[in-house]
Amino acid sequence: MIADTDHNPVAIDDLRLVPGFAPIVADRVWRAWWQEAGKPLAALRARLDESLGPATAAIPSSFVAHRGAEFLGTVALIESDMEDRPALTPWLAALWVEPAARGRGTGAALVRHAARAAFAAGHARLHLCATAQNAPYYHRLGWSRIEADIDGLDIFIRERVAG
């Protein structure tokens, strides 16, 4: 649990535990990345449903930051987020924070939570792709760029720290 600037408790839960947030997660992710690409909302919902599978599967997983019934943000762990790099797996993807909740550490908390989940599941590294504009944000969170400008995106890696 984290506290926002108003000192109200913010929880981060696996979407499996709070499935009522699935429609808003699908809506936000679709509007942010899929809609402009012409991909149907139903296709995203089908992918999201995969993260509602058995709790023993770490990949795929979706996590939700919320304050009670108020949705604040989401992030996902998926097998692959870049077809051109099939050997890189798993990936942190679809980090979204509601505009009113930005600047309060919610996004960073979601990223850390997802990374811990991936590492706890036995993965030694985690990847993500982001625009050059978002690169400084991920650098501040401890991610390292390993490739630049792959179709306009940079690839970052975060490795599990031993110990």
Extract long-range pairs of 98-105: CB within 8 Å, 24+ residues apart.
Answer: 98/28, 98/71, 98/72, 98/73, 101/4, 101/65, 101/72, 101/73, 104/4, 104/5, 105/2, 105/4
The dihedrals phi and psi of 26, each to the nearest 5 degrees, come to -60, -45
pLDDT tier, 8 (very low <50, low <70, confident <90, very high otherwise): confident
Task: Return the domain boundaries, the chain.
Answer: 2-159
- Interval 27-83: pLDDT, tens: 999 999 999 999 999 999 998 998 888 777 788 999 999 999 999 999 999 999 888
15 with 22: CB under 8 angstroms? yes
Rounded to two decimals, what is the model's pTM? 0.91
Please state at what angle helix 22-29 crosses helix 41-50, rounded to 10 degrees.
130
Q: What is the pLDDT of residues 99-148, one digit of tens each?
A: 999 999 999 999 999 999 999 999 999 999 999 999 999 999 999 999 99
pLDDT surpasses 60 at 159: yes
- Residue 83's pLDDT is 85
User: What is the architecture, at CATH level 2, of domain 2-159?
Assistant: 3-Layer(aba) Sandwich (3.40)
How far is CA 63 from each of CA 4, 36, 66, 156, rounded to the nearest angstrom?
A: 17, 24, 10, 20
Give the amino acid at 148.
Answer: A
Residue 83: closest CA among 157, 36, 32, 153: 153
Let me know if 96 is exposed, middle or buried by CB neighbors in 10 A (0-12, 13-18, 19+).
buried
Cis (ω within 30 of 0) for the bond into 90? yes
